Amino acid sequence: MKTNLIIFSKNRACQLELLLTSIVWFAPNLFDEITVLYKALDEYLVAYHKLIEMKPNIKFVRETNFRS
């Protein structure tokens, strides 16, 4: 039985990349969909944008206002 995965990430794009790569290598058929909810300061956004380009099959959602 497959399921969906939500990953929360804040200012840790390299750490997130290692997690996503590990999932692909060691559990490739475990999840139907992977969604990353991320929040980043301006100096970390470049790394997240590179990661978004590297992982087109993963849905990335930038957190802008958690309350709304």
Instruction: Output the tens digit of pLDDT for each of the chain's 68 residues.
Output: 679 999 999 999 999 999 999 999 999 889 999 999 999 999 999 999 999 999 999 999 999 876 76
List, in order, residues 6 or more apart from 54 with CB less than 8 Å away: 17
Phi, psi of 47, rounded to the nearest 5 degrees? -65, -40
Q: What is the pLDDT of residue 31?
A: 93
Q: What is the pLDDT of residue 1?
A: 67
